[in-house]
Each structure stands twice: as C-alpha cells, then as structure tokens.
C-alpha cells in the first residue's frame, strides 16, 4: 500500500473537543464514565463540545450525530493548517465510517410514528435519519464538491473507509481525502448494551486481560484524518498497511501494538493469537469507551505517539496477561505502530502506521 | 387537543416558544423567554424559512392536533408567536364546541 500521509486530525471524545484534550486524556489515563439519570454508565461527549456558532450556522438544522461529524471534520482541516476558504474543494473526497449511523434520530422517527402517526413525523428529523446525512453536512459546511461516501461495515467500518481513501488517492482522482468515523450513544443503545451485553459495573474495561466474556462501557465520539499522498504535507506520520483477515498474525516489525474494544465483537481471547511478549502492547479504550469504530481513536493515539515519540501508559492494566504491557508513559523511539481490532468471527483487522 | 390551553393565551405562548426552540435547530441557542410575542417568525425577526414553516405545521398537528389546510391562512397565522398562539386558542375552542 502506498503510504497515506496524515496532514491533520480532528477528534471529539468524552474528554471534549480537540486533539489536545485527547492527548491530555492519554496522559491522565482512566477516569470514571458519566452516569445518566437512569443510572447507566457511558463515555459520552459533553454538550459544550458541540457548541461553536461559526460551524453551527452552517449546519443549523443538523442533529447531534451530524454535528459530531462536522465538528471533527472541520477540526481536521484546521489542524492541518489549511483554511477552509482556501481549500481546493473539487479535489477533496469525504468518507464517513460508522457502525450504527444516526440511530438516535432513527429511533426518534420511529417513536414519533408510533406515538403520533406517520403524518406527524418531522420531515427534517426523517431526513437526518439517513446514514449519509452527516457526510453531506460535512460537504456542505466545507463547500466540497468531490465524492462523498458513508461506509458501514459494522466491525471494520473505519478500516474499509481507509482502504477506500487509499484507492481514491491511488486513482489520482483526488489530492486529499477527509476520512473519519462517528458513532454515538443514545438511551436506546445504552439500554441494549445493559440488557444484552456485559457492562463493566466498576466502569473499567480491561481489554488487556483478553477475556472470553469481556466487560465494557459504551463510548461515542468522532475522529477525522485529512490524508494525502503528499509526504511534504505529513504532520502525523502515515497509514502504511491495512489488513482484514482471519489468519494474519499482524506485523512483527512494529514497535507497539494497540488493541481495541468494540464491545460487540465477543471474546477478546482472539488477541492472544497475535500478541507476543516481544512487542509492547497497549490499550486505551477504557479512556473513551467501547464502540465499533473506536479503532480510529487508537489510530489517533498512535499518530500522536509517533509524532511525539512518546508511548503512553495503558489506561487500565488490571488482569493483563503476561504480555509486554505498556504500564508507564515515557519517551521512546517509535517508528511503526499497529492498531488491532476484532469481530465476532475471530477475524482481526490491522492498521499499520509509521512515523 | 390539550384542554388546558383553551383559555390561557399566556400558557399557549410559552408552550409555542418552547416548541420552537426545542424543534427548530436555528433557535436552539435561544431562551424561550427571550422571544417576544410580537417578533416576526420569518424573514427579519427570528429568521425562519420555508422548511421551518413545514416543521411548524407538523408541530401544530403533533402537539395541538390542529391542521393547516389553507396556506393563505397559514401566512397570517405564522406571522408571530402571538398570532400563532391565538390561532391555537381559537381552534382549541372550536374543537371543544
């Protein structure tokens, strides 16, 4: 795969909006999740993270899902040093990856149909229940006229989006691609998680323990990468390999492996097949919660570590197997990092990044 | 229809303001109490547009069971919070009669 260089990153997590807040979260480690009025734990994005009048006036009817998307996408552009007004708008593609799409809005439409009848459903709300609405808002807010796509592949949506971005750049049809993820919590989602999955009542996920029946805490957020083939514009390293497979053992030439938690992928024992004592391993999902596209957050963490040449301590090492677990933050030479996630069929997805 | 709105225009106005703020994205930053009864809903004033008019039609159906059938009537009704509230009050009374 031809390296896909990262020019800018935007991220919104439970710690708020911005790369600095995410980096601070990596340094601080685990904190208690938020608790809803009905007592459910989740790592939710704070309300004030989605207040910015300059952006909101461009997306004034948008729902929360679209705002999570647009804010992170705009931040990725700003983070690259580009001004939105100066963008070559026909040469930027947009790819939004999501596992569940705007499900909170979808539920709202369905509830309104049940409560009031289909004639009394808000047409605007219905329009937002479409998966591609968020990506369209990004295009509209930025004024981009290039291709716009939403990818949904449940467990590996982000990996598919990255592969597509790489293809678009390889074809030469675009100079840059804004590729990212978004997924949100909602009362319905949290209810389902509580009833059907195993939520960690102490608020701590422990992916490093590779449990057969892992416990998790739902999370949400959005992250975008502005990427290109232009090495001169590189700010945070590059994506160099992406592999989705049932039999791969990943790469042995990396300096660090980061494993993720997607909550619905079942047993995390599958990680035992690919982790070895030689390569340090870390996990950060207990900082921002478990969600299907959370692997993009691990990639943001990897990008920051490659840039800063610093490895951050795993957020929770309770019950960790005897891997070479990263327990302390420290300066270290890091040339390549792989981010690993899994699905419920014991397939693994690997994203390799380089300095 | 909610009978409690029958005669209390003040209560209807408050309810209308709350509905506008909580359902129309561009007003969400406003405090309902900040909206004056006689401020124009469309154009200058609150700056609503035709898509918002559609939302208001749905809100009237959903929360007051009132249907706007004549768009000429709708123009006058949607002029201000006050005109909208009076329309709701009038139709609530008609329905009960």
What are the pLDDT digits (tens) for A189-224?
999 888 888 888 888 888 888 888 888 899 999 999
Please give the ipTM for the structure prediction. Answer: 0.77
Higher pLDDT, residue A316 or B93: A316
Regarding the domain delimited by B3-96, which CATH topology (the fold level of the hierarchy) does it fall under?
1.10.1200
Residues A61, B26: C-beta atoms closer than 8 Å: yes
CB neighbours of A317 closer than 8 A, spacing ≥ 6? A206, A208, A325, A327
Residue B96, pLDDT score: 41
Please compute the mean of the pLDDT values over residues A62-90 and round it to a whole number. 95
Please compute the mean of the pLDDT values over residues A245-273 and round it to a whole number. 84
Residues A123, B54: C-beta atoms closer than 8 Å: yes
User: Using CA atoms, how far apart are residues A73 and A35, in angstroms rounded to an integer?
Assistant: 28
Per-residue DSSP letter, A222? E
Q: What is the residue extent of each domain of chain B?
A: 3-96
Higher pLDDT, residue A192 or B3: A192
Q: What angle do CA A336, A341, A347 make, to 5 degrees?
A: 115
What CA–CA distances, in Å, run from B43 to A41, A336, B5, B52, B81? 44, 56, 28, 11, 14
Please compute the mean of the pLDDT values over residues A138-152 and round it to a whole number. 96
Please compute the mean of the pLDDT values over residues B25-40 and round it to a whole number. 90
Those residues of chain A whose CB sits closer than 8 Å to some CB in chain B are: 53, 56, 60-62, 112, 116, 119-124
Please compute the mean of the pLDDT values over residues A291-307 and round it to a whole number. 96
Residues B26, A120: C-beta atoms closer than 8 Å: no
Tell whether the model's pLDDT for residue A313 goes beyond 70.
yes
Q: What percent of chain A has pLDDT over 70?
A: 100
Chain segment B69-90, per-residue pLDDT in tens: 777 777 889 999 999 999 999 8
Query: Residue A71 is encoded by which pair of tokens?
Result: 């804010």
DSSP assignment of A35-82 equals E-TTS-EEBPPPGGGG--HHHHTTSTT--HHHHHHHHHHHHHHHHTT-
Burial category of A355 from C-beta neighbours within 10 Å (exposed 0-12, middle 13-18, buried 19 and up): middle
Average pLDDT, chain A: 93
The total of other beta-carbon atoms located within 10 Å of residue B36's CB is 13
Confidence label for A255 from pLDDT (cuts 50, 70 and 90): very high
Chain segment A15-42, per-residue pLDDT in tens: 999 999 999 999 999 999 999 888 899 9
* CA terminus-to-terminus distance, chain B: 13
Residues A120, B54: C-beta atoms closer than 8 Å: no
CA distance B56 to chain A (A): 9
Residues B62, A120: C-beta atoms closer than 8 Å: yes
Confidence label for A266 from pLDDT (cuts 50, 70 and 90): confident
3-state secondary structure of A212: coil
Number of A to B CB contacts under 8 A, please give it.
27
From chain A, the residues in CB contact with B55 under 8 A are: 122-124
Q: Please name the residue of chain B whose CA is at the shortest distance from the CA of residue A53.
A: B29
Burial category of B39 from C-beta neighbours within 10 Å (exposed 0-12, middle 13-18, buried 19 and up): middle
Q: Which domains does chain A have, with CATH numbers?
A: 4-354 (3.40.47.10)
Q: Hey, which of A74-88, A204-218, A243-257 has the most confident mean pLDDT?
A: A74-88
From chain B, the residues in CB contact with A119 under 8 A are: 61
Higher pLDDT, residue A21 or A270: A21
Residue B7, pLDDT score: 62
Tell whether the model's pLDDT for residue A236 goes beyond 90.
yes
Please compute the mean of the pLDDT values over residues A46-61 and round it to a whole number. 90
Query: Residue A193 is encoded by which pair of tokens?
Result: 């998680």
CA distance B69 to chain A (A): 14
Tell whether the model's pLDDT for residue B4 goes beyond 60.
no
Residue A179, pLDDT score: 98
Residues A60, B62: C-beta atoms closer than 8 Å: no
Tell whether the model's pLDDT for residue B97 goes beyond 60.
no
């Amino acid at each position: 795969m031809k390296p896909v260089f990262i020019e800018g990153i935007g991220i919104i997590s439970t710690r708020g909006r911005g790369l600095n807040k995410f980096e601070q979260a990596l340094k601080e480690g685990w904190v208690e999740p938020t608790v809803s009025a009905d007592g459910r734990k989740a790592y939710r994005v704070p309300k004030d993270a989605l207040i910015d009048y300059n952006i909101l006036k461009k997306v004034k009817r948008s729902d929360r899902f679209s705002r999570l998307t647009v804010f992170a996408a705009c931040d990725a552009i700003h983070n690259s040093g580009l001004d939105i007004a100066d963008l070559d708008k026909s040469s930027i593609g947009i790819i939004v990856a999501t596992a569940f799409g705007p499900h909170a809005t979808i539920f709202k439409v369905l509830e309104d149909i049940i409560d009031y009848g289909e004639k009394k459903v808000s047409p605007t709300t219905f329009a937002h229940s479409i998966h591609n609405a968020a990506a369209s808002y990004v295009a509209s807010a930025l004024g981009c006229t290039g291709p716009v796509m939403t990818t949904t592949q449940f467990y590996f949506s982000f990996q598919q989006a990255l592969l597509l971005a790489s293809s678009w750049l390889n074809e030469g049809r675009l100079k840059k691609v804004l590729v990212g993820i978004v997924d949100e919590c909602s009362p319905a989602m949290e209810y389902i998680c509580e009833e059907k999955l195993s939520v960690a009542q102490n608020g701590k996920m422990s992916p490093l323990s590779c449990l057969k029946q892992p416990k998790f805490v739902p999370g949400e957020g959005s992250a975008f990468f502005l990427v290109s083939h232009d090495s001169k514009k590189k700010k945070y390293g590059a994506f160099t390999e992406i592999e989705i497979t049932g039999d791969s053992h990943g790469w042995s030439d990396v300096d660090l492996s980061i494993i993720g938690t997607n909550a619905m992928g079942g047993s995390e024992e599958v990680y035992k097949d690919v982790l070895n004592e030689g390569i340090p391993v870390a996990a950060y999902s207990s900082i921002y919660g478990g969600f299907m596209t959370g692997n993009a957050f691990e990639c943001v963490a990897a990008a920051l570590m490659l840039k800063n040449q610093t490895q951050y301590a795993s957020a929770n090492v309770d019950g960790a197997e005897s891997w070479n677990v990263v327990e302390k933050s420290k300066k270290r030479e890091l040339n390549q990092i792989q981010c690993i996630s899994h699905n419920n069929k014991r397939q693994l997805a690997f994203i390799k990044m380089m300095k | 229809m909610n009978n409690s709105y029958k005669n209390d225009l003040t209560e209807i106005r408050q309810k209308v303001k709350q509905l506008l703020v909580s359902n129309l994205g561009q007003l969400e930053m406003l405090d309902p109490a900040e909206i004056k009864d006689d401020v124009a809903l469309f154009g200058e004033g609150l700056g609503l547009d035709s898509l918002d008019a559609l939302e208001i039609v749905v809100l009237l159906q959903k929360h007051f069971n009132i249907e706007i059938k004549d768009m000429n009537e709708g123009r006058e009704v949607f002029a201000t919070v006050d005109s909208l509230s009076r329309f709701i009050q009038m139709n609530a009374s008609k329905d009960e009669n």
